[in-house]
Amino acid sequence: MADVGGGLGLTNDWTAGFLRVRTLEEAKRLLEEHWRPKPSVAEVPLERAGGRILAEDVVSRVDLPPFDRAAVDGYAVRAADTFGADEETPIELLCVGRIRAGDWPKLRVGRGRCAEIATGAPMPRGADAVVMVEHAIAEKNAVRVYRAVAPGENVVQRASEVKRGEVVLPAGRRLTPQLIGTLAAVGVGRVKVFERPRVAVISSGAELTRPGGRLGRGKVYDINGPAICEAVRTCGCEPVYLGIVRDEPARVRSAIEKGLASCEVVIISGGSSAGRGDLVPNVVSDMGEPGLLVHGLAMKPGKPTFVAVVSGKPVFGLPGYPVSAFMVFDQLVAPYLRELAGDRQVKRERAVARLSRRILSAKGRRELVPVKLLRRDGELLAEPLLKGSGAITSLSMADGYIEVPLGREMVEEGEIVEVVIFGGADVA
């Protein structure tokens, strides 16, 4: 049907203004024909590497430990000298010195001799075992040994943990405190990690006001700007909030150009519904090849979504409604951002639960329904939150969502469903 609406560019054809409604999988395939996430690498000092993803195989430049060292406090001895020693018949050795941790021993332990040694201190030449302090008594320079030791006993051999040249950690691992410890152990002071890609976030709409500002008549606060910025951050990227733009072509174009100049990805929300005259997608169409690739997603919520590639970088257009924007971000945008941040091993947390009441779904669209998880009689229940895609408060209560596939029109009360858990949700 032709566009016979008034000045708002209203149209009464559900699909008019949309290129062609695409499934999520089609949308991804079309995008990937023109763009693939390529993570960049940065070198950072160890103290700032925590939580980052390793971009190189780390090879040890040292043996660990770097020398034979005492595993306990005691006396470094020649094991052969202690053979036969026991509680009844101790063997007496002459103590020729002491070695603290951090010392480099110059002394040598000859036959019939020993040296006092602290845990972690290097073994002196000549000695090949340590008698634990609990098994010896010292009086002046004479040490009586009450238990025999075997060669190597209570000694940690050089390179027994890590050999110089060995790979201690492979690229791709997220640096937990333990792995930071492992890098420290082999002396790594700086390490290559994947860069946190910069992602521009723009909110479009004449009705939007920045939170904290005074709300004029007819205005609402911008929800998507702050929420999408934080969602970008949880994907390991650095959000660059370019603020609110009125839905006027020149302003929208200028904001997107600013985003493309300084960031790897641009996300703009609002202004892409057909009812608004396709303002943002039209602007993007004029910004060069290949331009607009997808306009309209067969997903509920989420239809007024677009995907474009401009200047070799992706521009994602999210719906203006916050719940829709959030769901499209989660399904379409977030996986690319995580990959761009070098995180290939993301496993989405999922829970299996019983649906607390029936959901009716639109045929021919994949539907995402936010749910709250409750524990009742020892069983996990998924309670659908059906307040509509404008209601951000339904997301504040949601622990995750269930996906109703394209072909289904209903999920029955009591059915077992899989819930995709939102990051950071406290699941009871």
Least CB distance to a second copy at residue 341 (A): 15
Q: Which residues within the stretch 279-308 sit at the binding site for a second copy (CB under 8 A)? A: none
Q: Which residues within the stretch 305-334 sit at the binding site for a second copy (CB under 8 A)? A: 320, 322, 326
Phi, psi of 24 (to 5 degrees): -55, -40
Nearer to a second copy, 26 or 73 (CB): 73
Mark 111-130 with x for binding to a second copy (rule: CB under 8 A) and - for no binding: -----xxxxxxx--------
Q: Which residues within the stretch 377-396 sit at the binding site for a second copy (CB under 8 A)? A: 387-388, 390-393, 395-396
Least CB distance to a second copy at residue 153 (A): 14
User: Do the Cβ atoms of 294 and 306 come closer than 8 Å?
Assistant: yes
Instruction: Give the pairing of strands 350-355 and 400-404.
Output: unpaired
Contact segment (CB under 8 A) with a second copy among 101-109, 287-295, 309-317, 361-369 equals: 101-109
The H or E element containing residue 129 is strand 129-132
The footprint of a second copy on this chain (CB under 8 A) covers a number of residues equal to: 122
Nearer to a second copy, 231 or 293 (CB): 231
The identity of residue 418, as a single letter, is E
Question: How far is the C-alpha of 292 from the C-alpha of 284, rounded, in Å?
Answer: 7
Nearer to a second copy, 23 or 234 (CB): 234
Contact segment (CB under 8 A) with a second copy among 170-178, 258-266, 357-365, 412-420 equals: 170-178
Q: Which two tokens stand for residue 253?
A: 């174009």
User: Do the Cβ atoms of 126 and 78 come closer than 8 Å?
Assistant: yes
Q: What is the DSSP letter of 22?
A: B
CA distances from 191 to 45, 50, 248 (A): 6, 11, 45
| The one among 154, 269, 272, 273 contacting a second copy by CB under 8 A | 273
Q: Does 151 help bind a second copy (rule: CB under 8 A)?
A: no
Q: Does 374 help bind a second copy (rule: CB under 8 A)?
A: no
Question: How far is the C-alpha of 132 from the C-alpha of 311, rounded, in Å?
Answer: 69
Q: Which residues within the stretch 228-247 sit at the binding site for a second copy (CB under 8 A)? A: 228-231, 233-234, 241, 246
Question: How far is the C-alpha of 138 from the C-alpha of 408, rounded, in Å?
Answer: 83
Question: How far is the C-alpha of 371 from the C-alpha of 388, rounded, in Å?
Answer: 12
Q: Which residues within the stretch 33-92 sit at the binding site for a second copy (CB under 8 A)? A: 45-47, 50-51, 62, 64-67, 71-74
